[in-house]
Amino acid sequence: MSDVPSLYVVSATRQSIGKTALCLGLALKFMEEGFNVGYFKPLGWHTASINEEPIDEDTLLMKETLNLEEPLNLITPILLEYHYLDQYSKEEEGRLLDKVTEAYRKVAESKDLMIIEALHEPCLGVSLNLSAANLASILNSNLLLLSTTYQDTAVDEILFEHICITKMGTKCTGVIFNRVQSPIDNRVRKVIIPTLEKNGIKVWGLMPESTTLTAPTVKEIAESLNGEIICGEKNLSNMVERYLIGAMTQESAIRYFRRAPRKAVITGGDRPDIALAALETDTSALILTGNLHPDVRVIAKAEKKGVPIILVPYDTYTTVDRVKDLTGKIGVSDKKRINEAKRLVSEYVDWKGLLRHLGRA
């Protein structure tokens, strides 16, 4: 459809493995090399609103960070809700596809390179004939898979996606691994990469896990829990790298808490001994469950230490379940995470090779 070379970034495994961060890092690196880079997300998800208009927050991030002139509803022409089959009936498939292709034509105009981001898993949009593989074929884009390597099943998922993609006539450029932990990166190089390359799949990079990107802030945790901030409002940007449950004696708690820096301690408001023990160690936040307000001694010490206290209505189990998979999200003004996304691409992705692959060496 377009003669502007493009990469269509798709998750090969699970939902939250850093697609937006990769797209942002690639775009910023290519712009640093002097290219006029555009961004397109054909299918978005209604995650916020501006002036009562629904938006996809990832689209807003890319528009503002890359200084894109195109309006949000052109960069992301189709915005899905939870019941998206009620939004877009089967009869509208042709019109939806026309809307996507026309928007892409306008967004890609005068650009040197395009970065296209898929929505969540690659299967999403199949019911509307708007799957990532189908759109990549129509938009003449190079599909780039993003995966992680916690288990060997990732290899099978990549191979399966590659088979499905190529059968649809779509160009599969290869894969990038993200959040590769140091104990297994050597095995990835010796076992996983040769297995993929034996099957004709190019690996363009191994990006290590970065807590700067993945660790949520205290503010993000409070918002996800609909929690009440009791104190420590000035330090809501504290990163939380792990969660510890306080349900032991005070003496045991101190030894336990000292092993884990930059943590959030989850305990009941009726356990001032545990809260005070946590405040003796490197703690990013206290999360008090059951809507039980803390002892005044706990509040006083937390204020002195600058540790935020979040009061939540849930029990401990529910609280842990709600935050265990929470990851950090890059905000429009989050310079630290934006710079980290670019650094990871610069240092761990063969971006020069991708430029050559796209004919933009």
pLDDT per residue over 242-252, tens digit each? 999 987 777 78
Distance CA 79, CA 42 (A): 8
Instruction: Flag the least confident range among 23-32, 78-87, 198-207.
Output: 78-87
Over residues 261-282, the pLDDT tens digits come to: 999 999 988 899 999 999 999 9
* Paired residues of 217 in beta bridges: 239
Report the pLDDT averaged over residues 238-243.
92
Q: Is the pLDDT of residue 149 over 80?
A: no
Instruction: Flag the least confident range among 120-134, 212-226, 256-270.
Output: 120-134
Residue 77 Cα distances to 36, 72, 107, angstroms = 21, 8, 11
Residue 73: which of 34, 43, 51 has the closest Cα? 43
CB 308 within 8 A of CB 235: yes
Distance CA 251, CA 272 (A): 13
Distance CA 4, CA 316 (A): 52
Residues 6+ apart with CB under 8 A from 74: 103, 106, 107
Q: What is the pTM of this model?
A: 0.88
Q: Is the pLDDT of residue 13 over 80?
A: no
pLDDT value at position 327?
85
Would you call 112 helix, strand, or coil by DSSP? coil
Confidence of residue 346 (pLDDT cuts 50, 70, 90): very high
Q: Is the pLDDT of residue 361 over 80?
A: no
Give 264: exposed, middle or buried? Use CB within 10 Å, 0-12, 13-18, 19+.
buried
Residue type at position 260:
A
Side by side, the strands of the sheet bearing 142-147 are: 37-40, 113-117, 6-11, 142-147, 171-180, 203-208
Give 249: exposed, middle or buried? Use CB within 10 Å, 0-12, 13-18, 19+.
exposed
Distance CA 49, CA 58 (A): 12
Would you call 53 helix, strand, or coil by DSSP? strand
Report the pLDDT averaged over residues 339-352.
96
Domains of the chain with bracketed CATH:
6-210+330-357 (3.40.50.300), 216-323 (3.40.1390.20)
For residue 23, the Cα-to-chain-centroid distance in whole angstroms is: 10
pLDDT value at position 255?
84
Report the pLDDT averaged over residues 329-334.
88
Average pLDDT, the chain: 90
Q: Is the pLDDT of residue 342 over 90?
A: yes
pLDDT value at position 239?
92
Distance CA 8, CA 173 (A): 9
Q: Is the pLDDT of residue 122 over 80?
A: no
Would you call 33 helix, strand, or coil by DSSP? coil
pLDDT value at position 15?
62
Instruction: Flag the least confident range among 112-116, 126-130, 294-298, 353-357.
Output: 126-130
For residue 90, the Cα-to-chain-centroid distance in whole angstroms is: 30
CB 19 within 8 A of CB 146: yes
Give 317: exposed, middle or buried? Use CB within 10 Å, 0-12, 13-18, 19+.
exposed
pLDDT value at position 307?
96
Q: Is the pLDDT of residue 41 over 90?
A: yes
175 φ, ψ (degrees, to nearest 5): -140, 150
Task: Give the residue, 48 or 103, on which the prediction is more confident.
Answer: 103
Name the DSSP class of 83. T
CB 76 within 8 A of CB 70: no
Burial string for 80-108 (b: 16+ CB within 10 Å, else e) reads beeebeeebeeeeeeebbeebbebbeebb
Instruction: Flag the least confident range among 8-12, 120-124, 309-313.
Output: 120-124
H or E element at residue 93: helix 93-108
H or E element at residue 283: strand 283-289
pLDDT value at position 49?
84
